[in-house]
Amino acid sequence: MNSFKTKLADWLDPYRQSFFFFKWTFTALLVVVAGSILITVCWRSGFVKLLLDNIFVYLPNYLTHEMAGHNLVGNIFYRAFYFSHRELGIWIATLAGNGIETLIPFLVCFFCLRIEGGRWTLPPVLYWLSTTFYGAGVYAQDARACSLALTSSDMVTNWAPGERCGDWHDILEPLGLLNYDQVVAYTFFVIGSVVFMLAVYSAWYYWTHPNFYAGLRTPKPDPEPAAGWQPPNIYEPQQPAATGAQTPLRREYTPNGHDDHSAGGTDFPGGMPRL
């Protein structure tokens, strides 16, 4: 079991830089839980809406929901099941909106963790992921009421409140879960709130513990040298030992002022040897 956990951790987070490897304290857990509960209870407040449904996240979420979700992935499944299971194709195409909207930041999180130093991109990506759950909760809680204004996947057609029900009405009704729309919605609110608090806490933890994962994946240091070992002196190299009885070449000064290269000396100026 431990081997499986290690292999899973090596695959998901090889550098051990996610919040799973933080040194959690009771106070930190209490702050994350309390913040998550507060955001979930106050999800209708203007502050939470500004925090999790502002223009900076609404636009990318809207584009991934409509273009990548409904128009691309949803259209593929709709055409694939058109003749055999048309209703299933429509259901998958409807689910693909929120599904792809949430899947994209989740995959970005995954790739960030597989990059050494990718921890610094994790808090904003976790924040992005939390906004997708919050948006799903807002529309899921309206599944029966159908009181929200909607935009079609063609991004041109609009419906006033009450004219048409949203995606989650069409997702939950075939499953017989339409009466549980509030349960589904608050499940999304809880997940989104927890992910948001983890994003905030991760940013703080990375800032205050820049080397928290040091040593988890770094190579072990070199062993200590043996006692009494000294590095070689490169400035005074030792002469190699003689392998035989060899007489080194010597330059001697003779009284006549010339170098002597032989036992008999020289006869010519400049040290020319005798022939």
Residue-level pLDDT at 180 = 96
Measure the CA–CA gap between 137 and 44, rounded to whole angstroms: 11
Distance, CA of 258 to chain centre:
80
Tens-digit pLDDT profile for residues 31-55:
999 999 999 999 999 999 999 999 8
Measure the CA–CA gap between 145 and 225, rounded to whole angstroms: 75
Structure tokens given for 173: 């009704």
User: What is the maximum span of the chain, computed from C-alpha positions, in angstroms?
Assistant: 125
Residue-level pLDDT at 218 = 47
Average pLDDT over residues 144-159: 84
Contacts with 106 (C-beta within 8 Å, 6 or more apart), sequence order:
129
Q: Which residue has the higher pLDDT, 113 or 211?
A: 113
pLDDT at 268 over 60: no
Beta pairing partners, 268: 272
Other beta carbons less than 10 A from residue 263's beta carbon: 5
- Mean pLDDT score across all residues of the chain: 84
Average pLDDT over residues 240-248: 56
pLDDT at 164 over 70: yes
Q: Please, what is the end-to-end C-alpha distance for the chain in angstroms?
A: 91
Which range is least confidently modeled, 14-23, 63-72, 93-102, 168-177? 14-23
Residue-level pLDDT at 17 = 86
pLDDT at 212 over 80: no
Average pLDDT over residues 80-98: 93
Query: How big is the CA angle at 196 (ends 193 and 199), to the nearest 5 degrees?
Result: 155
Query: How big is the CA angle at 39 (ends 23 and 94), to the nearest 5 degrees?
Result: 105
Contacts with 128 (C-beta within 8 Å, 6 or more apart), sequence order:
57, 60, 105, 108
Query: 19-24 contacts: CB < 8 A, separation 24 or more?
Result: 19/198, 19/201, 19/202, 19/205, 21/212, 21/213, 21/216, 22/202, 22/205, 22/209, 22/212, 23/209, 23/212
Residue-level pLDDT at 163 = 86
Residue-level pLDDT at 211 = 73
Residue-level pLDDT at 256 = 55
Q: Which of 71, 90, 59, 58 is nearest to 153 (CA)?
A: 71
Q: Which residue has the higher pLDDT, 106 or 15?
A: 106
Phi, psi of 252 (to 5 degrees): -115, 150
Q: Which of 5, 58, 31, 52 is nearest to 202 (CA)?
A: 31
DSSP state for residue 229 in the 8-state scheme? -
Residue-level pLDDT at 224 = 73
Measure the CA–CA gap between 78 and 97, rounded to whole angstroms: 13
Handedness of CA 166, 168, 170, 173 (dihedral sign): negative
Name the percent of the chain lying above pLDDT 90: 54
Query: 213-222 contacts: CB < 8 A, separation 24 or more?
Result: 213/15, 213/16, 213/17, 213/21, 213/119, 216/15, 216/16, 216/21, 217/14, 217/15, 217/16
pLDDT at 134 over 50: yes
Tens-digit pLDDT profile for residues 27-36:
999 999 999 9
pLDDT at 20 over 70: yes
Contacts with 194 (C-beta within 8 Å, 6 or more apart), sequence order:
32, 36
Overall pTM > 0.95: no
Phi, psi of 146 (to 5 degrees): 50, 50
Average pLDDT over residues 241-262: 53
